[in-house]
A = this chain, B = another copy of it.
Amino acid sequence: MNTEQDGYPTGHTPLLSAPPGRPTRAVVEALSGVSAATACAKLHHQGVTRTFIDGPAPLHRDAEIRVTGAAVTLQFMPQREDVFSGQGQEDAERRSALWAVLESIRPGDVLVVSAQAAQRTGCLGDMLVRYFKLRGGAGIVVDGRIRDAGKVRALGVPVWCTGVTPHYASQTELFPYAYNVPVAVGGALVRPGDLVIADDDGAVVVPPSHAQAIADDALAHQDKEEFARRRLDAGGRLSDYYPLTGRGLDEYVAHQGSSNGR
């Protein structure tokens, strides 16, 4: 995997698993009933421990919005005027990775933007989010800020970000560098094709290789929790029914048997 470039050998850690490629619609759908919290817990039990994209919070104000989709990634890098030699801001931005990544959006995709939680860059604004929506994008996760917050809210595209600012994308400190490369966002690694679940608890990355198992497991888990909820509402003790093990589990199994027997 190593190559020589400009006199510098370059490469990646060779033990890395292959990038996932585009997930099937089936796997996205299977996962669509799973909350970020449940996915994160299940992945932790399976040994994948850093899946939470810490920082980005919902921009929208309506509770209980959940987005599940495949990641398309965009990487901002610190501005260096000798490297990014566009003539004039507007033209340069238009030919940057920011425009390119939007053209690559397919319906249901989640745009994941790496911006190092920078405070003086509004990575996306009204016009770009509008175009994202036109292309069928499902949601946007930015470990940085956005601009035009009011208009973006009005568009109805769910956005998770670390804040808002009136600054535009290349105003001072960052500029759009590459797209659909692996990125570090809020302490998590996201590669194009990874699945992302974002809801009121924030955004979580789900390796596609684990998605089906998570989905199956979560279904069973939610069924148990529903049973426990009913028992607690009926006056059961927390430690008997949550988590559902021991005697509570026996009851549940019996209950399931009778339900299925019908």
Interface residues, chain A, with chain B CB atoms under 8 Å away: 2, 5-17, 19-22, 35-41, 44-45, 47-52, 54, 57, 61, 63-64, 66, 72, 77-86, 89-97, 99-100, 102-104, 116, 118-120, 122, 125, 127-128, 130-131, 134, 147-151, 153-154, 163-168, 171-173, 175-182, 184, 187-189, 191-193, 199-202, 204-205, 207, 209-210, 225, 228-229, 232-233, 237-239, 242-243, 245
Complex Cα spacing A93 to B233, Å: 21
Known: A37-B148, A52-B166, A202-B165. A189 touches B14 (CB 8 A): no
Complex Cα spacing A83 to B49, Å: 12
24 A-B residue pairs with Cβ-Cβ distance under 8 Å, sorted by A, are A7-B193, A8-B104, A9-B103, A12-B97, A13-B84, A13-B175, A15-B86, A15-B96, A16-B83, A16-B85, A37-B148, A37-B167, A40-B166, A44-B168, A51-B166, A52-B165, A54-B165, A63-B149, A77-B189, A79-B189, A83-B189, A116-B184, A130-B229, A150-B199
Complex Cα spacing A47 to B49, Å: 15
How many copies of this kind of chain does the complex include? 6
Specify which of B61, B78, B130, B201 is in contact with A189 (CB 8 Å cutoff).
Answer: B78
Which residues on the B side are within 8 Å of A130 (C-beta)?
229, 232
Q: Which residue of B lies closest to A242 (CB)?
A: B127
Known: A229-B130, A232-B134. A82 touches B48 (CB 8 A): yes
Instruction: Indicate the member of A39, A118, A134, A204 with the most B CB atoms within 10 Å.
Output: A134
Complex Cα spacing A230 to B154, Å: 17
> Sorted from nearest, which 3 A-B pairs have the closest CB atoms?
A6-B21, A150-B200, A40-B166
Which residues on the B side are within 8 Å of A243 (C-beta)?
90-91, 93-94
Is A176 in contact with B48, judged by CB distance below 8 angstroms? no
Q: Which residue of B lies closest to A237 (CB)?
A: B103
Complex Cα spacing A179 to B16, Å: 14
Complex Cα spacing A193 to B10, Å: 12
Is B95 in contact with A239, judged by CB distance below 8 angstroms? yes
What is the distance, in angstroms, from A218's C-beta to the closest C-beta of chain B?
12
Is A89 in contact with B45, judged by CB distance below 8 angstroms? yes
Instruction: Indicate the member of A22, A49, A153, A229 with the most B CB atoms within 10 Å.
Output: A49
What is the distance, in angstroms, from A169's C-beta to the closest C-beta of chain B?
10
Complex Cα spacing A119 to B188, Å: 14
